[in-house]
Amino acid sequence: MAPACPYFADVQPAPYLNWSAAPTKAMGVALILASLAVGCLLGSAGQGSWLFAVGHRPVVAGRPTPMVVRSNPVASASRPIIQLYPRREEALRSTLVANEPVAADFNLGKYIMAKAAAVEAALDKYVPNGLPPHPKVIFDAMRHSLLAGGKRIRPALVIAACEMVGGTQEMAMPTACALEMVHTMSLIHDDLPVMDNDDFRRGKPTCHKVYGEAIALLAGDALLAESFSLIAKETKGVPADRVLKSIANLGTLVGSEGLVGGQVMDMAYEGKGDTATLEAVEYIHIHKTAALLEAAVWNGACIGGASDQELEVLRRFAQKIGLAFQIIDDVLDATMTGEQLGKTAGKDEAVAKATYVRVVGLEQSRAIAQRLIAEAKADLAPYGAKAVPLLALADFITARTN
């Protein structure tokens, strides 16, 4: 049995290889030889020469390398999309890395609480409780949803990525808060009757239930606009080109090539989940949900000074954990109660949404999520101990219960 996850005792990394299921001994021998070959390759390549593939641009140590990549309709010139089905030796390498105990003494709970407290204080400052002569109701509505609690996973990813590449929490904080503002905007709009029509979020009445649909819509708009302004005005000690790249990337990932595109596709399949293909569900999840986690990791690393090559590796990592995050959301919606989730449960099934659970079932959904997390963790192997917070956050995504 694989060793337990170092952060959550009840979580097991999903195994890639089931030796008892191999149809012949020849297959087992082939896999052993493949593992040895990969080990030799990794050993001779050194830390600066690892394999990664982002959309149409696979490279090893900066050089193009042949790779079988499936036709992927979701990639674009400005936002390459990961290859989700790697070759067998890559899967083997992911398993070996994911199963290694990493900094078992790292306390993720304390880490998340510390980052969440810092982010909460910054958000309280950036969105004040009124700003005369402007209408107070809009600030009240923004704060109602923005300061409603939550784990602040996206801001934590921003800070962790920034610190991993040599930046600081102070440098990353405006971007971390901006990501939480964009995320909150997406929740406010998603809860509206014209969209998902939810009455509760994080255990509280949704914004439109308290302030009405018009004010809720405007509160979301205000948070989105403020997010870009915040990065531009409040980021200190960071070269202007990094700030500009961060703003541009966030715009891409929130717009029609990212979150909005995913939301449109999600609505198109509502009531038609039984007709959805795996590719369609993948598109929805990568864009509607994974885009913001991608923005969190990529923008944090960009602000921290990551190289272009590092940013591509981290984009790949983030898209994988983002997709896993939404797959687990699908699983939780199908298995948890509203009290456990802090929002309406069972809605995906009730409106026949296109989800991984509907297309491939519960167990396969869990297995895919675990596999994605294992592969994502393997991408960060060259960073060693510096990657521990990001690795722990990746594990948390599949271990969470709400």
All domains in the chain, ordered by first residue: 24-399 (1.10.600.10)
pTM over 0.85: no
| Average per-residue pLDDT for the chain | 79
- At 65 the pLDDT is 27
CA-to-CA separations, 140 to 25, 131, 349, in angstroms, rounded? 66, 11, 34
C-beta of residue 158 within 8 angstroms of C-beta of residue 176:
yes
Percent of the chain with pLDDT over 70: 71
C-alpha to C-alpha distance for 3 and 147, rounded to whole angstroms: 38
Greatest distance between any 2 Cα atoms in the chain:
77
Q: What is the pLDDT of residues 54-85, one digit of tens each?
A: 333 333 233 232 222 233 434 555 666 655 54
Residue, of 143 and 34, whose pLDDT is higher: 143
Given a cut of 60, is residue 395 above it in pLDDT? yes
Contacts of 45 (CB under 8 A, 6+ apart): 60, 61
Q: What is the pLDDT of residues 163-220, one digit of tens each?
A: 999 999 999 999 999 999 999 999 999 999 999 889 998 889 999 999 999 999 999 9
Given a cut of 50, is residue 8 above it in pLDDT? no
Question: Tokens 């005792």 label which residue?
Answer: 9
Counting beta carbons within 10 angstroms of the beta carbon of residue 201, is it exposed (0 to 12), middle (13 to 18) or buried (19 or more)?
buried
C-beta of residue 395 within 8 angstroms of C-beta of residue 63:
no
pLDDT-derived band at 153, boundaries 50, 70, 90? very high
User: Quick one: tokens of 100?
Assistant: 């290694």
Q: What is the pLDDT of residues 277-296, one digit of tens each?
A: 999 999 999 999 999 999 99
Average of per-residue pLDDT across 48-59: 33
- At 61 the pLDDT is 32
User: Quick one: tokens of 200?
Assistant: 């509760």
Any idea what the Cα angle at residue 387 is, between residues 310 and 393, rounded to 5°? 110
Any idea what the Cα angle at residue 50 is, between residues 46 and 52, rounded to 5°? 180
C-alpha to C-alpha distance for 370 and 327, rounded to whole angstroms: 10
- At 345 the pLDDT is 60
Q: How many helices (H) and strands (E) does the chain have?
A: 18, 5
Given a cut of 90, is residue 142 above it in pLDDT? yes
pLDDT-derived band at 12, boundaries 50, 70, 90? very low
Neighbours of 35 (CB within 10 A): 17
- At 199 the pLDDT is 92
C-alpha to C-alpha distance for 27 and 17, rounded to whole angstroms: 11
User: Quick one: tokens of 352?
Assistant: 């026949």
- At 110 the pLDDT is 94
Average of per-residue pLDDT across 116-125: 97
Q: What is the pLDDT of residues 299-328, one digit of tens each?
A: 999 999 999 999 999 999 999 999 999 999
C-alpha to C-alpha distance for 203 and 149, rounded to whole angstroms: 10
- At 184 the pLDDT is 97
C-alpha to C-alpha distance for 21 and 311, rounded to whole angstroms: 38
C-alpha to C-alpha distance for 4 and 372, rounded to whole angstroms: 17
Residue, of 75 and 117, whose pLDDT is higher: 117
- At 196 the pLDDT is 86
C-alpha to C-alpha distance for 359 and 269, rounded to whole angstroms: 13
- At 79 the pLDDT is 66
